[in-house]
Structure 1
Amino acid sequence: MKYDSQSMVSTIGSILIKHPKDAFISQENLKEKHEEFNYIGCPDYEKVLEEYKTFEQIIKDYVENIYYLPKDDNTGLDSIYTHDTAKITSKGAIYFPMGKRLRRGEPEATKEYLESIGIPTLGQIKGKGKMEGGDVVWIDEETVAIGRGYRTNDEGIKQFKELVKDFVKEVIVVQLPHAEGPDECLHLMSIISMVDRDLAVVYSKYMPVFFRDYLLEKGIKLIEVNDKEYEYLGSNVLALSPRKCLMLKGNPITKKKLIEAGAEVFEYEGYDLSYRGTGGPTCLTMPLYRK
């Protein structure tokens, strides 16, 4: 089993996803639980399945090995967003305790499954540490940016730094804004998606000046997302390989800018699958190995 995902843009060789039938379960389950998970209305289960079919087919077309996280009674609706429970490094997986209380059962379920397919554990964020995968963005294989916000705290970042100190040269801590408050899902990956080593989709309004300047100084071209498309997850873009990316349909301005920058763009309808739960294509996927 090959593993190593210290990149946001290299070609995905293996990926972990979770089918909505194993996370959302049924329309009745969604009706009962969507409010406590802070969803934007109740997803239509049949529409979710239709949207996921398209999303899944694109993944199948461009990723060689697909692994499915199984149903687990200790997890809830948000377990469909496989990206958040861990990061896969060249030395193994680092598991996160999750800043959102309702997601506390997910890391152990993910750990049990990944170990069963041959991915070793490098470590876990423990004690008072909080962290979610959506706050960890690889700028390159030796440089990682971590969002410090409501889902990731200083103790979590301290422990992560210790775990990666032997193979990561630079850890950049990016202070996230209060924005809509602690109940909203704001990760660093909400405001930046790397599409290539020198290309990123960003929502600069929520980005600290030092970090934006840093990206520009690194020679990274920034594709700016406007307010309307940010709200519809326009800055949440998954790189399947350099400049070959997947995004939520309904963000035409961002899509046009990506194409003009030389990117190939694939889309899926995701109003019920992604928008209502505030989780785009990066959230729905955990790359296990990038070539």
Structure 2
Amino acid sequence: MNYGCQSMVKKIDTIMIKRPDAAFVSQENLNATWEKFKYYGCPDYEKVLEEYAEFEKIIKDNVENVYYLPYDERTGLDSIYTHDSLKVTSKGAIYFPMGKELRSKERLATEEFLTANGVPTLGYISAPGKMEGGDVLWIDEKTVAIGRGYRTNDEGIRQFKELTKDFIDEYIVVPMPHGDGEETCLHLMSIISFVDTDKAVVYSKYMPVFFREYLINRGIQLIECNDEEYDYLGTNLLALEPGKCILIEGCPDIQKKIEDAGVIVYTYEGKELSYRGTGGPTCLTCPVCRK
């Protein structure tokens, strides 16, 4: 397996995803567990399969190497969102403990799979450190922004810096707002997604002024998402390559703005697959290698 992914927009060469049958398993399993995982209603399993097939086709049409995480009894519904339990650097994978107790063993299953497929382990974020993949945003290969919130704490950031200090030049710590509360999954990548080297979809209402100004000063065009579409994961996009991305269907305003900026947008219906568990196309994927 090719590895090394210190970019949010370079062309994805290798990706890791997990099919619904390996994460959601069945309607019976969803019925029994969705409330524990704090989903917005119980997903319809048959509809999930339809939505995932549409999403998966976009991935396979655009990514050469697609790997599938298998079912693992240590994981639950949220393991379909493969982005959160790790980051893959040019030196190997860094695994995160996850703030949600029900997800605490996901990294074990993921590490076993990636190690078996040739991706070395660079290290771990250990308690009392906390970190999740959605809080780690590559600005470029030598610059990383990290959201400091309820899912990623100061000790987690310190450990991440120690593991990456030999190949990262700049760390930008971005304080995250309280938002809708401690239990809400609010990551840095909940409010910003790069769709090209110089374009990003943002929800500025939750963005610190210094970070917004930093992006503008770097020449990044900020494409603003409105409140309604932010609530429907309109800022959670996956860049397949510069100028080509995936967005959940149902966000026409931000889709038009992105397309007007010259970016190709693929969409998939994702109410049951993504919205119910607040996991958009970025969350559903773990790019292992971008070139």
Distance 1:123 1:176 in 2: 25
Tell me which amino acid in the other structure corresponds to 1:224: E
Note the 1:56-205 alignment, pairs <5 A. 56-205=56-205
Distance 2:100 2:159 in 1: 18
The runs of 4+ residues in structure 1 deviating greater than 2 Å are none
Q: CA deviation at 1:149?
A: 0.6
Distance 2:216 2:197 in 1: 12
The yes-or-no answer on 1:225 pairing with 2:225 is yes
Distance 1:232 1:123 in 2: 34
The yes-or-no answer on 1:45 pairing with 2:45 is yes
Q: CA deviation at 1:123?
A: 0.4
Tell me which amino acid in the other structure corresponds to 2:101: R
Distance 1:197 1:61 in 2: 22
Tell me which amino acid in the other structure corresponds to 2:136: V
Query: What does the per-residue CA deviation read over 1:27-73, in whole Å, with 9 as the maximum and x for residues that have no partner?
Result: 11111111111100000000000000000000000000000001000
Tell me which amino acid in the other structure corresponds to 1:10: K
Q: CA deviation at 1:195?
A: 1.0
Does the CA-based 8 Å contact 2:196-2:263 persist in structure 1?
Answer: no
Which runs of no fewer than 5 residues in structure 2 stay unpaired? none
Distance 2:105 2:90 in 1: 25
Corresponding residue SS for 1:127: coil
Task: Give the fraction of aligned pairs with identical amino acids, expressed as a percent.
Answer: 68
Q: CA deviation at 1:127?
A: 2.4
Corresponding residue SS for 1:173: strand
Does the CA-based 8 Å contact 2:195-2:244 persist in structure 1?
Answer: yes
Distance 1:67 1:52 in 2: 15
Q: Aligned residues, how many?
A: 291
Q: State the superposition RMSD in angstroms.
A: 0.5
Q: CA deviation at 1:261?
A: 0.6
Equivalent residue, structure 2, for 1:267: 267
Equivalent residue, structure 1, for 2:250: 250
Distance 2:34 2:63 in 1: 31
Relative to the length of structure 1, the TM-score reads: 0.99
Does the CA-based 8 Å contact 2:247-2:265 persist in structure 1?
Answer: yes
Distance 1:100 1:145 in 2: 22
Relative to the length of structure 2, the TM-score reads: 0.99
Equivalent residue, structure 2, for 1:16: 16
Distance 1:175 1:88 in 2: 23
Equivalent residue, structure 2, for 1:28: 28
Distance 2:176 2:37 in 1: 21
Distance 1:58 1:249 in 2: 13
Q: CA deviation at 1:260?
A: 0.7
